[in-house]
């Protein structure tokens, strides 16, 4: 069945419009942690932003000198460059998702910003005087450790706060963004239209050569 070019144009414009709406919609803040086995240790790297709106501010505290992890509690503490931090609680929402069976382990080898989640199951720690929505980044290396020794189970773990922020931990894997496939639909329609044009042109050229 021949598809009218006007329909193809309308469909492509509609789907491009939908894509634009999807990507122009304000996104909730997102933190991404990637845990990898590298160089004889386990490296946690993290970056993103957090929205502290709706969370309960507990105060300013002085950080310890170590970074910590306990997969059985869904707990990760990146000490960064040290100093003071602010604690926020998500009230009764226990969002920390366990990513293994433990045990608890501490290491004094980190850089960047202070960031922690899940010590009490519903808390996050950020640098002192953190401004909601600004970027956080850092890394921790647990030297001489492996996923097995830290009791970590490979997979993707999504911690969802009550304000719809997400803190995603990828243990040995990387999550694939969801909205991207929609961009392929207009492209397919346009490709189909161009392909029909090329086929028509070749047929016309072939008929001309036979005259």
Here the tokens at position 154 are 């490979």
Assessment of whether the complete model's pTM goes beyond 0.75 = no
Summarised one tens digit per residue, pLDDT across range 80-136 is 988 999 999 998 799 999 999 999 999 989 999 999 999 999 999 999 999 999 999
pLDDT bucket at 202, cuts 50 / 70 / 90: low
Percent of the chain having pLDDT more than 70? 69
* Per-residue confidence (pLDDT) for residue 205, from 0 to 100: 55
Q: Place 29 in a pLDDT band, splitting at 50, 70 and 90.
A: confident
Residues 78 and 113: their CA atoms lie apart, in Å, by 8
- Does 161 score more than 50 pLDDT? yes
Which residues are CB-neighbours of 74 under 8 A, at least 6 positions away? 96, 97, 98, 99, 117, 118, 121, 157, 159
pLDDT in tens, 54-94: 999 999 999 877 999 999 999 999 999 889 999 999 987 99
Which H or E run includes 136? strand 135-143
Q: What is the DSSP string of 64-127?
A: -S-EEEEGGGTEEEE-TT-SEEEEEE-TT---PPP-B----EEES-EEES-EEE-SSSSEEEEE
Mean pLDDT score of the chain, rounded to an integer?
Answer: 80
pLDDT band at 207 (very low <50, low <70, confident <90, very high): low
Question: Alpha helices, DSSP H only, in 115-183?
Answer: none
């Amino acid at each position: 069945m021949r598809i009218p070019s006007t329909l193809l144009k309308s469909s492509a414009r509609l789907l491009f419009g939908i894509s634009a709406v999807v990507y122009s919609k304000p996104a909730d803040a997102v933190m991404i942690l990637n845990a990898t086995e590298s160089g004889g240790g386990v490296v946690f790297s993290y970056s993103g932003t957090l929205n502290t709106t709706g969370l309960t501010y507990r105060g300013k505290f002085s950080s310890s000198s170590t970074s910590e992890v306990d997969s059985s509690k869904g707990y990760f503490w990146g000490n960064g460059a040290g100093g003071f931090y602010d604690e926020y609680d998500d009230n009764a929402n226990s969002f920390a998702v366990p990513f293994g069976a433990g045990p608890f382990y501490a290491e004094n080898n980190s850089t960047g910003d202070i960031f922690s989640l899940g010590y009490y199951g519903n808390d996050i720690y950020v640098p002192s005087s953190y401004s909601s929505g600004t970027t956080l980044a850092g890394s921790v290396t647990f030297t001489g450790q492996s996923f097995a020794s830290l009791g970590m189970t490979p997979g993707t773990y999504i911690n969802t706060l009550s304000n719809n922020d997400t803190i995603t931990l990828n243990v040995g894997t990387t999550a694939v963004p969801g909205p991207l496939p929609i961009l392929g639909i207009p492209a397919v329609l346009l490709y189909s239209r161009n392909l029909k044009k090329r086929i028509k042109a070749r047929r016309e050229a072939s008929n001309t050569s036979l005259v």
